[in-house]
Amino acid sequence: MLSLTGVSVAYDGVVAVDGVSLEVPDGSVLAVLGPSGCGKSTLLRAIAGLEPVRSGRITFDGDDVGRLPTHKRGFALMFQDGQLFGHMTVARNVGYALRLRRRPSNARVAELLALVGLEGYADRLPATLSGGERQRVALARALAVEPRLLLLDEPLSALDAGLRERLAVDLREILHAAGTTALMVTHDHEEAFQVADRLAVMRAGRVVQAGPIADVWAAPVDAETALFLGYARVLTGVAADTVRAAAGDARAGRVEALAVRRSALVADEHGPLLGTVRSARATPELLRLVVDVRDVGLVDAVADRDTHWGPGEDVRLRVDPTRTAPIRGI
């Protein structure tokens, strides 16, 4: 298990990572989610041993690794753009770590290439591969010696949308099949949800929220986190109360705000809320509406694909409570 206790990293006196504490249990995948510049890549580099830690402890299975040089930590790091060695073939790239440990094995290389779906690519040079193929090779290379911790730096963000989604699923399967403990940093919450079990949200050098992915999802710690997790709007005051009441939300206590996803309000002729359609846009699956709801203001809503709504029409809405999240502090 990897644990960080109060880890801080500074560049030229400017603090990039500020007192971060985290745990990654064996066999789990933790996603560190945050906007660019929040310090998440620096944190990753510090764990890898590429940046000196100013204060705090990094331990693995109880051993302090903070003073070990990178190559003795037994971690593997996969870069955003793969960083394949341009002068080596795919097979030599994948077998690199094996050769370092003086146990080269063509069989193991072939097995790894099969794992990432690249049989027959052994003799190609990295320059001849597509972006997705390069990332697969980089993944195979990182997994070759079964690192006790795999560090992934935005592994999918250089890829186009369709490919990203497919590779994210593959990545999750591959990591689980190999039983690898992994820490991934990303700015894309979709990617985090698709790959990770646990989530840590980072902002301005600090971890603002961490936990199992469903827990974080269900209860964002503040409005900014909620928006970053993909919630469309954060309602406060009367608006929040009105929507909660309409949802029949029995969950205890008073909340400061309510985060709503775009699909939290659904057009329903029996719905408790009444509003006026401001705009409507068809997508392949749904009709997306923007509705001006009394006591709430402008909110997003969805309707069935086969109904018809035009601007100015009145509409009744119901609330899907699973698509809202209470926020206790702002």
* Burial 238-276, CB ≥16 within 10 A → b, else e: ebbbbbbebbebeeeeebebbbbbbebbbbbeebebebe
CA distance 277 to 233: 17
Stretch that binds another protein, among 25-33, 66-74, 106-114, 219-227 (CB under 8 A): 66-74
What does the per-residue mask of binding to another protein show for 7-46, with x meaning CB under 8 A? --------------------------------------x-
Q: What is the smallest separation between the CB atom of 173 and another protein, expressed in angstroms? A: 22
**Site membership for another protein, residue 253 (CB under 8 A):** no
Binders in 210-239 for another protein, by CB under 8 A: none
Quote the least distance from Cβ 234 to another protein, whole Å: 38
The set of residues, in sequence order, having a beta carbon less than 8 Å from that of 94 and lying 6+ positions away, is 109, 112, 113, 137, 140, 141, 144
> Which residue's CB is nearer to another protein, number 131 or number 211?
131
Write each residue from 122 to 141 as x if it is in contact with another protein (CB under 8 A), else as -, in one continuous string: ---xxx-------------x
Q: In what order do the strands lie in the sheet with 63-64?
A: 14-24, 2-11, 55-60, 63-64
Q: Looking only at residues 68 through 87 of this chain, which bind another protein when binding is defined by CB under 8 A?
A: 69-72, 74-77, 79, 83, 85-87
CA distances from 81 to 41, 89, 278 (A): 14, 17, 43
Q: Is 87 or 278 the residue whose CB approaches another protein more closely?
A: 87
SS3 36: coil
In angstroms, rounded to a whole number, what is the distance separating the alpha carbons of residues 156 and 220?
A: 24
Task: Return the residues of window 87-116 that contact another protein according to CB under 8 A.
Answer: 87, 96-97, 100-101
In this structure, what token pair is assigned to residue 179?
């039983």
**Separation between Cα atoms, residue 277 and residue 266, nearest integer Å:** 12
Residue among 154, 160, 166 at smallest CA distance from 78: 154
Region near another protein per CB under 8 A, out of 48-56, 111-119, 155-163, 211-219:
48-56
Residues 160-199 that bind another protein (CB under 8 A): none
Q: Which residues bind another protein (CB under 8 A)?
A: 45, 48-50, 52, 69-72, 74-77, 79, 83, 85-87, 96-97, 100-101, 125-127, 141-142, 144-145, 151
